[in-house]
Amino acid sequence: MNLSIQDLPANVIASYEATAHSRGITLEVFLREYLIKNAPPTPPVLLNEAEWEKAVDECFDAFPVSGPLPDSAFDRENIYERENEW
């Protein structure tokens, strides 16, 4: 891909050339690396309702299956006994 930028101030061009020269690379290589490094992030993919539901289901299916907590887990004694462990 070729790109031509018109009407850049001379001091801006000189600054980039000096930076490239100090790194031992050409201006073209420096600008290519700079553009790659500072490229804007790819916008997120918008999902329709069915795709969103499928993605959420796949996410939840990735977690291990666990059973419900026993009733004793909610007893007052079991809740307050753990305060001493903190």
pLDDT in tens, 23-74: 999 999 999 999 999 999 999 889 999 999 999 999 999 998 888 888 888 8
DSSP 44: P
Instruction: List helix spans (H) across 1-86.
Output: 10-22, 27-37, 49-61, 76-81
Q: Which residues of 4-29 are buried (b: 16+ CB within 10 A; e: fewer)?
A: eeeeeeeeeeeeeeeebeeeeeeeee
Residue ranges per structural domain of the chain: 1-63
pTM: 0.49
- Tell me the two tokens of residue 23: 């790194």
In the chain, the N- to C-terminal Cα span, in Å, equals: 62
